[in-house]
Amino acid sequence: MTETQPGGTRHADGPFLMDVTALSQLLGALEAAGYQVIGPTVSDDAIILSELGSAAQLPFGWGVELAPGGYRIRQRSDTAAFGHSAGPQSWKQYLHPPREKMWSVDRSGGEFDVVPADEPAPRRAFVGVRPCDLSAIGIQDQVLGRGEHAGSRYAARRAGVFIVAVNCTEPGATCFCTSMGTGPEAGPGYDLALTELVSDTDHKFLVDIGSPAGADMLAQVPVTPAGDGTTGLARSAVAQAADQMGRSMPADALHGLMAGSYDAARWDDVAQRCLTCGNCTMACPTCFCTTVEDVSDLSGEHAERWQLWDSCFSLSFSYLPGGSIRSSDHSRYRQWLTHKLGTWHDQFGSSGCVGCGRCIVWCPVGIDLTEEVAALQAEARQAEAQQAEAQQAEAQQAEAQQAGSRTPGARAGGEQQ
């Protein structure tokens, strides 16, 4: 297939090769199609998500250093635009806003006029969506946008989103998407997926098409068919990233582990460190819990209901008449981790964790959930070993008693008695 110039036609095949200079044309095409373009940019010593006026605002040449309770941007030795791991924000804030008005009501002449807050959903293009975050969007689609929630505001916002995913080639020190099956290669759900290829002499992107909308958009951008060599180089870079994760998680064993760890001693250990601040739930791209707040003006003639993000780490979250049912730090951390890794499977058919590592990075005291899971697993194995030893000892004791009752001396003694 020959090079396609802007305005050409595109079939859903590929992959294709796009020069870095064409990023400006891609973002321009998205804007011309009516999308508000959102993507990563550098601000306040962090790589955040914000509206992009041009491709020049992307974080070219910037990377990040991640650690439990630590985040720092760093200057890279190359000009990669997407050479960074997940930042402090996720795309959740645009699909499931932290604060949203539900309705307002006015009182006039003894009657109430209720007005739903039905603002039209914006059309947005998410540029630079990591595979873990793409999976997180899919999880929130399941929770907030399907079944009985098919007509929700979330669903309306989600319907207007165009996704440009970026495959990971350099995972961060707190990443474990490979363990969770959510990366480093983008799964279904994107319109276009980019793999960045940068060297001292060249800077290009391998582009995969994921939808008809993606094919139509790419028709506005100059691309060429990717050769086998370039395609293989890009695929190899992503495959190598799978072996470079800074963390790991025993994903297959999590459901059973959480179910069997209710009384684990490790909960007391982590509770001594946890501040129950809720940072992990705010940074998490899949946590969805909310509360409602009613406010009124001083005259009492106007009132509004707002939906706000909430956290299972707050005392008020589980408040019932008589008090909170999870009054201890121990019980609240256990609730969060057990739901995220265990009972989420029962509710929604998958884990609630995508391995992005944000909860590790943005925990003020550096609690690492992969470390906590490993400790719970070690405690469970120790308990199983002790139980097996006890059962073996009981079996040996019972066998010895039976052997003693069968000896001639024992029978004679019994006859003499």
Quick: pLDDT tens for 344-365.
Answer: 999 999 999 999 999 999 999 9
- How many separate domains does the chain show? 1
Residue 198, domain member (yes or no): yes
Q: What is the pLDDT of residue 415?
A: 45
Residue spans of the chain under pLDDT 50 = 1-11, 410-417
**C-alpha to C-alpha distance for 173 and 152, rounded to whole angstroms:** 37
Q: What is the pLDDT of residue 108?
A: 85
Indicate the pairing of strand 124-129 with strand 36-43: parallel
| pTM of this structure | 0.89
Residues 6+ apart with CB under 8 A from 125: 27, 30, 35, 36, 37, 38, 161, 162, 163, 164
Residue 405, domain member (yes or no): no
Q: What is the pLDDT of residue 400?
A: 78
Residue 54, domain member (yes or no): yes
Residue 276, domain member (yes or no): no
DSSP, residue by residue, 216-266:
HHHTTS-BEEPPHHHHHHHHHHHHHHTT--S----GGGHHHHHHT-TT-TH
Residue 221, domain member (yes or no): yes
Tokens of 407: 């000896």
Report phi then psi at 300, rounded to 5.
Answer: 80, 10
- Region of 111 (left: φ > 0; alpha: ψ -120 to 50; beta: rest) is beta
* DSSP state at residue 4: B
Q: What is the pLDDT of residue 40?
A: 98
Tokens of 372: 């906590």
Q: What is the pLDDT of residue 407?
A: 62
Q: Domain range holding 172? A: 16-100+117-241
Residue 124, domain member (yes or no): yes
Residue 162, domain member (yes or no): yes
CA distances from 294 to 98, 212, 302, 303, 306 (A): 16, 43, 11, 7, 6
Residue 272, domain member (yes or no): no
Residue 391's Cβ-side half-sphere holds a number of Cα atoms within 13 Å equal to 6
